[in-house]
Structure 1
């Protein structure tokens, strides 16, 4: 896993998506979160094909903070077996990545993020 990751999950409502994003950001497990939706969802669940709408939640964080973010999401997610996946951020603007690192530091530096 690279130094930085985007972590993905989805929920059934915008309110649940925003609540997950807010709690993770306030806990400094994510520097920023985007809620996207609704999106069409097509899936297999309990042996049956399903269709519905979901709200995607995308968290920006560091690989070091991922385990704590995953635990946070699994504890607070309204679903029993939610998607929690990562995509490495292989490159990005240095000022942005520095901001992500500072923001999710367990003991953030003083001053504006």
Structure 2
């Protein structure tokens, strides 16, 4: 497991994105959450291709907080089966990475 991660998800409204971002940071599961959008999305749902708008939430967290962050996202997410994808941070400034650790403790 990577020491530091970027975790992303998407939700259907700006309000839901802001609430999810804030609740994860308040719980100490992520050092930060950024909301981007609206973004246009195309996806397959119940056998049909659908288009719509979503908001992406991007979290920075420590690797040992990934499982708890994922659980938080799933529990507080408006979708039945939300996207939760994590990418390892291969490099970063030591001061910034130390901040991620401090902010998730």
Normalising by structure 1, report the TM-score. Answer: 0.91
Aligned-residue CA RMSD in angstroms? 0.6
Matched with 1:108 is none
The structure with the largest alpha-carbon Rg is 1
Give the secondary structure class of the aligned counterpart of 2:82. coil
Give the secondary structure class of the aligned counterpart of 2:101. helix
Matched with 1:3 is 3
How far apart are the structure 2 equivalents of 1:19 and 1:42? 24
Moved over 6 A (4+): none
The answer to whether the aligner puts 1:48 opposite 2:40 as a matched pair is: no
Give the secondary structure class of the aligned counterpart of 1:82. coil
How far apart are the structure 1 equivalents of 2:36 and 2:94? 25
- How is 1:59-98 mapped onto 2 (pairs within 5 angstroms)? 59-98=59-98
Deviations 1:61-100 (A, max 9, x none): 0110000000011001011011001111110011000000
Which runs of 5 or more residues in structure 1 are unaligned?
106-113
Which runs of 5 or more residues in structure 2 are unaligned?
none
How far apart are the structure 2 equivalents of 1:67 and 1:23? 16
How far apart are the structure 2 equivalents of 1:3 and 1:45? 34
Aligned residues: 105
Give the secondary structure class of the aligned counterpart of 1:66. helix
How far apart are the structure 1 equivalents of 2:35 and 2:50? 22
